[in-house]
Amino acid sequence: MKILMIIGTGAILTFPMDKSIEADCFEQGYRILQNISTYHDTGNRKQGWYLKGKPIQVAGWYCS
């Protein structure tokens, strides 16, 4: 199983799911999201997760 991270540029990053720990795919995906991006709460449509130091939004992740 892989974790697919969708970036605002249309790129898809893949991360292998670590089966040696108890966390499920959702928890592992959220941890990756927190490590590579920060949440910007601007109170308007531009709020969301952005790659650290970049104006590129992270759209979300899926388990495949």
Among residues 16, 56, 22, the alpha carbon closest in space to that of 36 is found at: 56
Task: Write out pLDDT tens, residues 40-56.
Answer: 988 888 889 999 989 89
Domain ranges of the chain: 2-63
| Residue 38 confidence (pLDDT) | 94
Alpha carbon 19 to chain centroid distance?
Answer: 19
C-alpha distance from residue 12 to each of 5, 40, 43, 44, 45 (Å) = 6, 21, 27, 25, 22
Task: Write out pLDDT tens, residues 2-13.
Answer: 888 888 888 888
Instruction: State the Cα torsion 37-39-42-45 to the nearest 10°.
Output: 70
Arithmetic mean of pLDDT over the chain: 86
| Residue 44 confidence (pLDDT) | 84
